[in-house]
Structure 1
Amino acid sequence: MDDLLSKVLDLQSAWTASNTEEMQKRGVCIRQELPTLLRGQSAALAEALGVPIGSLAIEGRDGTGLKTEVPWVRVCDPTMSPSATTGWYVVYLFSGTGDRVYLSLNQGTTVWTGGDFKARKVGDLRARVGWARPLLTEQMASRTDLCDEIRLDARTPLGRGYEPGNVVAIEYSREALPPQERLLTDLGYMLSLLQTVYAAERLAPHIPGDPAPEVLEAERSAAAAAGRRGRHASRPGRSGQGFRLTSAERQAIERRSVSVASAFFAAQGWKVQDVGTRESFDLLLKRGDERLHVEVKGTTSAGHDVILTRAEVEKQRKYYPANALVVVHSIYLDRAGDAPVATGGTLHCTSPWQVADEDLSVISYAYRTALGRDEGAEIQSSLRVLKKGPRQASPALQASTDAQ
């Protein structure tokens, strides 16, 4: 194994995007020889990860067509990381200069746009690292050879993009590669860390840096309605980088957010009426001659994005300035029992709430085809829109509080 790592590192100095003879040799090592060697250790590696042998994925990639500067070989549970662009995994990353290779607990750092790979936001990757690293404190206490940061010396953005995704890594110098027995021991150790991250991820209602579950669900539903097939299949409850919510979980979050918002306004002397089942907003507030029409959104995420229907947007524009947006974010969702339980949350209120076009992102359209136009109808616009914000506009009422 050390010989194969050394061979790849030696070939790194000859890197080019073209499929030269050197790159062909590198590709054989990355896509065939190293994965084959590791598959011979599947029983021990699966045990370290805490999965059946059949639930262990080992793959290597060096670029399809154009050759990537930083090739990799990764090990993971494919139900938790169906592709290298999603989820967590343990991966060998070879530096662009060929002087070192890292064994890294890393994550999907790019997203496939349909034509190429686009780097995820560095802030989102670091937020996910900040969530994962504290989970491993006890397991990492006995090791003094772990790296919080990796340096791949890559010239390409794709090669450099792996660096902020690193949770923890072991660095091997080309001049001092350990023997195979030590390399496999280290790999087993890193897989035990990955097992801990997977266990925590299964219970986490939301991981910082992930898209809001509501946004994922809206995008998935829009894609399904349009007849779009996903590029990669994933296990139930997941969509890309993050979890989707079940119907029971959505209802629990909705009940919690409306309850928190109702208590917030009642404490200010408003008479609160829940009208969500019959109106395109959630709460009607009365206080003397005052009226306030409130849209309430609850989420387990940080609340940067929420989903609005076209009817909700139109209603709130009609009621402005006697309106408000309440986002109850960072709700804790307990999935351990028979039924999900939502608690906590931080309330942010914006009132009056002016829904600006620049804060809306269209998720999908209802398009009137030629058949429909023959009937004299016009093109219909957005089915769903994404509210990005909320904006900083609340001269009459603005609040942000933690719900108990």
Structure 2
Amino acid sequence: MDDLLSKVLELQPSWTATNTDEMQERGVIIRQQLPELLRADGARLSVALGVSLDDLGVEGRDGTGLKSEIPWVRVFGREQSPSSTTGWYVVYLFSASGRRVYLSLNQGTTIWTGGVFKARRVEDLRARVDWAQPLLAEATAARSDLHGTIELDARTPLGRGYGPGNVLAIAYERDQLPAQETLLEDLRFMTGLLGTLYESERLAPYIPGDPTPEVVEAEQSAAKTAGRRTPGDARPRREGQGFLLTSSERRAIERHSVRMATEHFEAQGWRVKDVGDKESFDLLLTSGERKLHVEVKGTTSAGLEVILTRAEVEKQRKYYPDNALVVVHSIELDRTGEEPATSEGVLHCTSPWVVDDEDLTVISYAYRTQVGVQHPGDQTLFPPGVPQQRQVQGELQVTDGGRSPL
């Protein structure tokens, strides 16, 4: 294994985007020889990762068409990281200069919203790293060879993009590559850390740096309703994993946020009535002759975005200035029991609440089509060779592709 890593590093200074003899040789090692060698240790790697052998993925890439500056070989869970652009994985990254190769616990740089892949911002990648590192602190306490940053000497934006996603990495200098057994032991160790992240991700209702859960769910629902097809590698994540919530979890968060809002307003002397089951707002507050119409939103995220229905927007604009928006954010959600449990949360109240158009983002549209409405000069187009039906003087005729009567 060390000889294969060394050979790739030897070829790195000869990198070019075209498929030269050197790049062909590099490609064989990256796409075939290294993955095959790692798959031979698949049984132990799958145990370290906590998945079945069938769910263990190993693959290498050096560029499709044009050759990439930084080739890589990664180990991953097929469900948790179906694509190299999504999820967490362990990956060998070869520096452009050929000086070193990193074994990096890293992450994809895009996220599937239900309609499109969106690039994660650098600050979001770093927020996810900050979430992940403390989870691994105990397991990594005895390792002094782990790096929080990597330097790939990359000249291309794609090559430089791996840096912000790095959680922890082991650096192997080209002239100090350890023997194969040490390399495999390090890989099993890093794969075990990856398994810890997978389990933590499964239990986490929200990971800093991820989109707001409610917004992602709304985008996915809108895309599904509109009949959008998803890429083959964009499998929907299990309910209860990452940013998707189950219906019981959503109800628990909603009840928790309404309860906190109720206590907040009662402490201010308001009489509070929960009207969420019959009105397009949640709480009706009264104090003497004054009324306040309150919309309550709860989230496990930082609360930077919430979902509003059309009815909620229209009603709150009607009620202004006797209205309020309460966002209870950073709610803690415990998924370990039979039923989800909520606690904590930070309450933020805006009153009066002005719903400005510039603060609203359109997720989907209801489009009024012209189906069934015939306008003068309208024509129906048919593919060539497909028979059409035409009404002529009260008789139904069939023409072949609109060219000549049969």
TM bracket (short chain): 0.7 to 0.9
Which letter does structure 1 place at the counterpart of 2:238? P
- Pairing of 1:177-188 with structure 2 (within 5 A): 177-188=177-188
Q: Which ranges of structure 2 fall in alignment gaps of 5 or more residues?
A: 376-406
The match for 1:18 is 18
Q: Relative to 1, partners in 2 of residues 1:19 and 1:33: Cα closer, same or farther, differing over 3 Å?
A: same
Shift in Å, 1:50 = 2.3
**Per-residue deviation, 1:203:** 1.2
| Superposed CA RMSD | 2.1
The question of 1:318 aligning with 2:318 is answered: yes
Secondary structure class of the residue paired with 1:286:
strand
Decide whether aligned partners of structure 1 residues 234 and 11 sit closer, same or farther in structure 2, where only a CA change above 3 A counts. farther
Deviation (angstroms), 1:66: 2.6
Matches within 5 A, 1:116-195: 119-195=119-195
- Is the 1:79–1:234 Cα contact (8 Å) retained in structure 2? no
Which of these residues, 232, 239, 246, is aligned with residue 237 of structure 1?
239
Residues 1:53 and 2:53 aligned together: yes
Match in the other structure for 1:388: none
CA distance in 2, matches of 1:118, 1:311: 28
Aligned residue runs from structure 1 range 1-400, under 5 A: 1-111=1-111, 119-231=119-231, 232-237=234-239, 242-371=242-371
CA distance in 1, matches of 2:79, 2:317: 43
Given the superposition, is the C-alpha separation of residues 148 and 62 from structure 1 closer, same or farther in structure 2, using an over 3 Å criterion? same
- Distance, in Å, in 1 between the alignment partners of 2:113 and 2:338 is 38
Tell me how far apart the structure 1 counterparts of residues 26 and 236 of structure 2 sit (CA, whole Å).
Answer: 30
Q: How far apart are the structure 2 equivalents of 1:361 and 1:256?
A: 26
How far the C-alpha of 1:374 sits from its partner, in A, is 6.0
Give, as a single letter, the amino acid of the residue that structure 2 aligns with 1:289: E
State which structure, 1 or 2, has the greater radius of gyration over its C-alpha atoms: 2
User: Which amino acid letter does the alignment assign opposite residue 275 of structure 2?
Assistant: V
CA separation of 1:36 and 1:98: change in aligned 2, threshold 3 A = same
The Cα of 1:52 is off from its aligned counterpart by 2.0
Q: CA deviation at 1:18?
A: 2.7
Secondary structure of the structure 2 residue equivalent to 1:90: strand
Aligned length: 373
Question: Offset at 1:306?
Answer: 0.8
The amino acid that maps onto 1:362 is V
Deviation at 1:372, TM superposition (A): 6.5
SS of residue matched to 2:347: strand
SS in structure 2 at match of 1:66: coil
Question: Which amino acid in 2 is paired with 1:15?
Answer: W
1:307 Cα deviation from its structure 2 partner = 0.8
Quote how far apart the aligned CAs of 1:128 are. Answer: 0.9
Letter in 1 for 2:8: V
Instruction: State, as a whole percentage, how many aligned pairs show the same letter.
Output: 68
SS in 2 for 1:347: strand
Query: Is residue 82–residue 234 contact of structure 1 (8 Å, CA) maintained in 2?
Result: no
Residue 312 of structure 1 and its aligned partner are, at CA, apart by 1.1
Alignment correspondent of 1:400: none
Cα contact 1:253–1:342 (8 A) shared by 2: yes
Which sections of structure 1, spanning at least 5 residues, go unmatched?
A: 376-404
Segment of structure 1 superposing worse, 264-273 or 222-231: 222-231
Deviation at 1:11, TM superposition (A): 2.0
User: Taking structure 2 as the reference length, what is the TM-score of the superposition?
Assistant: 0.87
Q: Distance in 2 between matches of 1:248 and 1:261?
A: 20
State whether residues 110 and 118 of structure 2, in contact with CA within 8 Å, keep that contact through their aligned partners in structure 1: yes
1:117 positional shift: 7.8
Alpha-carbon separation, structure 2, partners of 1:256 and 1:316: 22
TM-score (norm 1): 0.88
Letter in 2 for 1:107: Q
**Partners of 1:341 and 1:372 in 2: CA distance:** 51
Q: SS of the residue aligned with 1:132?
A: helix
- Alpha-carbon distance between aligned partners in 1 of 2:85 and 2:374, rounded to the nearest angstrom: 44
The DSSP-based 3-state class of the residue aligned with 2:295 is: strand
CA distance in 1, matches of 2:37, 2:31: 11
372 and 145 in structure 1: CA distance in 2 versus 1, 3 angstrom threshold: farther
Secondary structure of the residue aligned to 1:251 is: helix
CA gap 1:341/1:33 in 2 versus in 1, 3 angstroms? same
User: CA separation in 1, counterparts of 2:373 and 2:143?
Assistant: 69
Match of 1:395 in 2: none
Cα distance, 1:16 vs structure 2: 2.4
Distance in 1 (CA, whole Å) between partners of 2:5 and 2:360 is 49
Q: Is the 8 A contact 2:202 2:240 kept in 1?
A: no
Q: Structure 2 vs 1, CA of residues 159 and 110 (structure 1 numbering), >3 Å: closer, same or farther?
A: farther
- Distance in 2 (CA, whole Å) between partners of 1:266 and 1:358 is 32
1:122 CA displacement: 1.2
